[in-house]
Chain A
Amino acid sequence: MTEPVLSIKDLVVEFPFRNDVFRAVSGVSFDIMPGEVVGVVGESGAGKSMTGSAVIGLIEPPGHIASGEIRLKGERIDNLPEEAKAKLRGRRIGMVFQDPLTSLNPLYTIGEQLIETIRTHLPLNEAEARQKAIDLLTEAGIPKAAERMESYPHQFSGGMRQRVMIAIALACDPEVLIADEPTTALDVTIQAQILELMKELREKLGMAVIWITHDLGVIAGIADRVMVMYGGQVVEQAPVRELFGNPQHPYTRALLKTVPSVSGEREEKLAVIEGQPPILSAAPAACPFRARCPQAFERCERENPARVPVGPAHDAACFGDPATGGPRDV
């Protein structure tokens, strides 16, 4: 059995706020196998970005990891000192964020930023690093890369900047790439280009990818496996076709129904999930979705459901069975 390249167990991330505490991530566990693309789907406040930030170790204080473990190829990385974490970032874990304009330093050329990243982690001299940078930019689809090394971030379009971010993220051949809403701010035709690029790069380099987004269409196109998050927890996890074809958690089912599509059947009226996502301050003593769930029953008020297997490589955190509308036989 292959070892997972990234392993997260019972992660809890909290933010103290005055006399209260805000729980952004509430007991998340999953494994990522080498080379697979895992999509993490959820709305704002579900905790998906926070989980990504926890892995890289970039949670803004006073937020912190309250409990749980994160292991990269078996070694624990959540409890390392800041220096050690900084060594991991860029070298073994690459990251691409949503807004490339704020991720790149506007005062330095992108060549300088690329070379800095490369030389921080790899033992190359200036000339070798420069050549590698040019190669990376070309691979990322930037035309006339050698010239564009001298350009500043604001001289690139949004799509180009994101390609630069991807080049920087992959500069040191990381084992895991964490992409947090990388195409959300891009136009749809540019998004298609970037998705194509990611697929090609993945074929070539074989790194594992955690792709965080709220866009189900993007997930359908790029993910091998999907995790649905709600209220700081993973509520369903399955291979991508299984999730879209046979969703078991009421939230996933409702979410899939609210999204209209460009082809296929046109809905007369969009399905709606009434109410709003919860704001948690402690470990939930009940299912976080119960207030909005069309088939909640009284057990859902008393216990927070754990994930149970509901299909091939497919688990969901729910007491109910959507086929019958009643409790599931476990």
Chain B
Amino acid sequence: MFDTRTGRKLVEVRNLKMHFPIYAGLLRRRVGEVKAVDDVSFDIYEGETLGLVGESGCGKSTCGRAVLRLYDITSGSIWINGEEIGEAGFQRLRPLRPTMQMVFQDPQASLNPRMTVSRIISEPLDEHTRLSREEKTERVFELMDAVGLNRDFANRYPHEFSGGQRQRIGIARALALNPKFIVCDEPIAALDVSIQAQVVNLLEELQDRLGLTYLFISHDLSMVRHIADRVAVMYLGKVVELAPRDALYATPMHPYTEALLSAVPEPDPTIETRKKHILLKGDVPSPANPPQGCNFCTRCPKVMDICRKVEPAAFEVAPGHQVACHLYSETTHETAGETAAIEAQESTQQGE
């Protein structure tokens, strides 16, 4: 379990907003915006894995890409390794790039089909180092060994590999410049179940060996439970809950987190048939038109009047465990928090 109190913060995100404008009409006027990421803040400590979970449209992928400055952010600040990069331009960002890298979701689309494996992995070296050709080749081989790829295949093209192998190539590419921070954007979603385990094990092994810090974005809650130290749950552009892993899975506080966890089907028929799935009504609202007040008020099984009017602020209910929900504001904290904890304990007992 990662101890957040003594670790050094490698990544600090404060009030990050990514609003994409919507243009309509003949004159292409700006009629609104998609609030993909709406005032998100979190820290990632050196050496830990922060899991970022949520369903489609919640903004987790956009958040990951914004943190690496693949987009120009609408507002907010991003600190990586002590450098503020939220406002930085292309020239200032370039020397900082080697510190932060990404592993992508689609193994097919994330590799240039016209480049050999060796070329793909050595491109970072071409761009940022002055190594000689022999040194680069040696480094490419080193990286291929580290991710479990046979050196003989360095001159093959991506389409000659399976999905799991392509993902390994992507990981090797991400490691080429010895980054400190890697954003993994749904890295196993496109892989078969038995290959997923291989890739996740590899990522963990590399983290131990090289002291990497991960932002692990995924909709697969069971996999995130395995790999993450702390977990943030996103809904419609906002972080609704952020907690150490065990606390989140054992005692989820936010009603959305509860629903999310209860919806995941367990690979065990004895649990599944007895499990009470919390069913959310309706669909996710459009991020271009979020509801007034709390984003979740239209579907929340525990909604109160105040939820429809006032947006809840993040509140720390336990050390390292924060929730953005009116059930847990200053005044109602004690009673609501206790009730929730008791309820959660009851349901886990029933499930066993």
- CB–CB under 8 A between A and B in the complex? yes
Interface, chain A (partner B; CB < 8 A): 43-44, 157-160, 187-193, 195-196, 214-221, 240-241, 244-245, 254-256, 258-264, 266-267, 269-274, 276-277
Q: Are B226 and A217 in contact (CB under 8 A)?
A: no
Q: Does B271 make an interface contact (CB < 8 A)?
A: yes
Total interface residues in chain B, CB < 8 Å:
45
Given known A191-B263, A270-B200, contact A220–B272 (CB-CB < 8 A): yes
Given known A189-B55, A221-B269, A267-B226, contact A43–B192 (CB-CB < 8 A): yes
CA distance A263 to B264 in the complex (A): 10
Q: Are B260 and A263 in contact (CB under 8 A)?
A: no
Binding-face segment, B29-37, B76-84, B122-130, B277-285: B277-285
- Shortest C-beta distance, A158 to chain B (Å), equals 8
Contacts of A245 in B (CB 8 A): 270
Q: Are B226 and A266 in contact (CB under 8 A)?
A: yes
CA distance A245 to B273 in the complex (A): 14
Q: Are B272 and A270 in contact (CB under 8 A)?
A: no
Contacts of B226 in A (CB 8 A): 260, 266-267, 270
Q: Does B267 make an interface contact (CB < 8 A)?
A: yes
Main secondary structure of the interface of B (DSSP, over half): helix
Contacts of A269 in B (CB 8 A): 201, 204
CA distance A192 to B223 in the complex (A): 18
27 A-B residue pairings within 8 Å (CB atoms): A43-B194, A187-B56, A188-B221, A188-B264, A192-B262, A192-B263, A195-B277, A196-B277, A196-B279, A214-B192, A214-B193, A216-B267, A219-B267, A259-B222, A260-B222, A261-B225, A261-B267, A263-B249, A263-B266, A263-B271, A263-B348, A263-B351, A266-B225, A266-B246, A270-B226, A274-B198, A276-B162
- Shortest C-beta distance, B151 to chain A (Å), equals 19
Contacts of B271 in A (CB 8 A): 220, 263-264
Q: Are A221 and B279 in contact (CB under 8 A)?
A: no
Contacts of B162 in A (CB 8 A): 276
Our count of residue pairs bridging A and B at CB distance below 8 angstroms stands at: 131
CA distance A254 to B221 in the complex (A): 21
- Shortest C-beta distance, A37 to chain B (Å), equals 12
Q: Are A189 and B280 in contact (CB under 8 A)?
A: yes
CB-nearest residue of chain A relative to B246? A266
- Shortest C-beta distance, A86 to chain B (Å), equals 34
Contact of A262 among B194, B266, B270 (CB under 8 A): B266
- Shortest C-beta distance, A289 to chain B (Å), equals 11
Contacts of A276 in B (CB 8 A): 162, 164, 195
CA distance A215 to B266 in the complex (A): 10
Contacts of A216 in B (CB 8 A): 193, 267
Q: Are B197 and A258 in contact (CB under 8 A)?
A: yes
CB-nearest residue of chain A relative to B283? A157
Q: Are A220 and B267 in contact (CB under 8 A)?
A: yes
Contacts of B196 in A (CB 8 A): 258
Q: Are B269 and A244 in contact (CB under 8 A)?
A: yes
- Shortest C-beta distance, A187 to chain B (Å), equals 4
